[in-house]
Structure 1
Amino acid sequence: MDTSRMNSSLIRAFDALQIIGATAFGFITISAFIVQRQTQSRHTTWFSFCFSWIVFCISYALLIITDQQSHPSHNLCIGQSALVYAAIPLTGSTTLGVCTHLLLNILAALSVAPVKKMFSTILILLSIMPWILWIIVFVLAVVFGIQHPSSAQLSPNGIAQLSAIWAACTGVLLIVEEGAVLYFLYRNREILAGSGKATTMAVRVGIFTITASIVVGVGLLFSLAPHVGGQFEVLLSVVPISTAIIFGTQKDLLRVWIFWKPRGTQETPEVTPGASVTFSTILSGISAPSAAHTTESQPQEQA
């Protein structure tokens, strides 16, 4: 098979997967906004996570969106290169933010200390810092591209080269943090079992951990072999779609699009009186600390 034809097929597959990923996260975000108006069940860290993956996919598919895949202008090439290098730290940071929020939610729910104020401050930082990092990396990449014009060019496969080391480091941090989440879920399974959704959360986190492991493996491959074939880049482009499936198949989000099916009378309640964490989504709102106090106070009343 002709190499140029194979590269062209890989480019089309890569761009198609990125567009599908952006579209999927677009539907997820719209669904979440609709649900948010009714239940207020998701924090800004979750929406920041979704928006970051949309930016990630658009950054990689920018050339085909602007119809300049074969012969892009130099300025557009610099712009896309900057977006690509900034997109990986962005999605890595927002994903870490989601996992950190989940971990803090569990720790706050299991704690009797009044940590709500500190919890809120950390969540604000988790929502803002990834985008500040994105702007910084983007500006630095643009400045570097302007000062070194020859550095902005298509990769041998027609796809911008990845920041593999950053992806690998982020993946390692994700695995460590998600391992801590699974540890606390397992260690406190008797307390958290009352919600009935702890198992669902554990499954989602476990699947996402596997996805993060794939990111680490692919990132290391790019680090050790920068000129590896485009098949690995196409493999990496599957990550946004798999992430969209993991985070977008929550029941309340899917129910938005099943508008012809009548809904039950009990639609809103997400936290039962004895629950300590909201398990309706992979990332719940800032209701865990108050729920924790309710959970901790019950034994005293019974005594």
Structure 2
Amino acid sequence: MATVRDLGTNFLADSFYITLFDILQGLMFSLLLLVFLTALFSPPVKRSKTWFIFVGSVVEWCASYLILIGQQIGRPPPVALCAFQSAGIYASNPFVTSAAFTLVFELFIKLKAALNRTGPMSVKWSWGLVIFPIFVYVVVFIWVIAVGISHPDLVERDATNMFCHMKVSEEIGLAQPFVISATVTLLAEILVVVFSVWTNIILFNHKRKTGEFLSENSSPFDMSAFIRRNALMTALTVAGIIFAITSFLETSDPNFPAWNLALTAMPTCVFLLFGTRMDLLRVWFCLGTPSGHRTEISSV
């Protein structure tokens, strides 16, 4: 039997990790929301629709982990609140990867258009890429809510007390939220990797034939930023979602809550990759736009 001292030590340890987790998620939520709103309302900052969907999906990712603040220690939270957070978390995985796919796919189309000197993407295709991740999110969210309503006994706060999840149940089988979320996430991840690799193959084949990458005049985006972010986002997508999927397992070790802190790595990397562009920094520090600077819509 645990002694009073043991219980007190465990409580302090849990409180420390939970507070740190909330602070990191809250910080990334605030920074990414700042990036999103700056690009949305600042005329000098131009971003594509898929960029907004991708950054917005990561903002939602962070927000979903913050729903339980104030009810992570002590009595279990209400089942309805716990089910709502579970739905948000399970749906955020395929939402982020689907949004990452649409961003990478748009970059792929832009690169092909620049090489073949064809016109821009049609309006229908453009809006289709915006709607697709939202559709995936809504479908998974509704499914998890439905499971939570029909099987409230499966909804619980996880062993680390950081957020809610749903226990694995043989009764539901392959239709349980974890399987649905993981499957859709994996499919989207595969598409991200395929089109990222394909894009880089096309780009380097062009360099091998012509001796140079696309020039700034013929390229619809900054090539150095494109190459760097395209490669890093592939690794980021795979690594970040692996942490999230493993956190859903029922076998979470309550004595190792630091594992869940790794969940903050994905939004942190997204901020460092997409929130540190010079046009954003100029707006934040009121530096103004350099004379002769060409404003263009960027996906990266």
Task: State TM-score, norm by structure 1.
Answer: 0.77
Identity %: 24
Pairwise CA distance, 1:213:
3.5
User: Per-residue deviation at 1:241?
Assistant: 1.5
Matched residue count = 267
Tell me which of 19, 24, 27 is aligned to 2:34. 27
CA deviation map 1:95-136 (0-9, x unaligned): 11111111111111112455643xx32221110121122122
Letter in 1 for 2:283: V
Kept after mapping to 2: 8 A contact 1:168/1:217:
no
Separation (CA, whole Å) in 2 of partners of 1:208 and 1:31: 21
**What is the one-letter code of the residue matched to 1:10?**
Y
Kindly report the root-mean-square deviation, in angstroms, between the aligned alpha carbons of the 2 structures. Answer: 2.7
Aligned partner (choices 55, 58, 63) of residue 58 of structure 1 = 63
Asked if structure 2 preserves the Cα contact closer than 8 Å seen for 1:20 and 1:241, the reply is no
Cα distance in structure 2, aligned partners of 1:74 and 1:9: 25
Correspondences of 1:198-277 after superposition (within 5 Å) = 198-215=223-240, 217-218=242-243, 221=246, 226-228=251-253, 229-259=256-286, 261-270=287-296
Question: Does residue 144 in structure 1 map to residue 147 in structure 2?
Answer: yes
Query: Counterparts of 1:31-110 in structure 2 under 5 Å?
Result: 31-35=38-42, 37-38=43-44, 41-64=46-69, 67-70=70-73, 71=75, 72-110=77-115
In the other structure, the counterpart of 2:172 is: none
Letter in 2 for 1:20: L
- Alignment partners' CA distance in 2, 1:49 and 1:216: 14
**1 CA distance for matches of 2:32 and 2:229?**
17
In 2, Cα distance between the equivalents of 1:170 and 1:14? 27
Q: Which amino acid aligns with 2:189?
A: G
Instruction: Compute the displacement of 1:140 (Å).
Output: 1.5
**Structure 1 residues without counterparts, runs of 5 or longer:** 271-277, 284-303
* Equivalent pair of 2:17/2:258 in contact (CA under 8 Å): yes
Change (3 A) 1:167 1:15: farther
Cα 1:174–1:187 change in 2 (3 A) is same
- TM-score, with normalisation over the residues of structure 2? 0.78
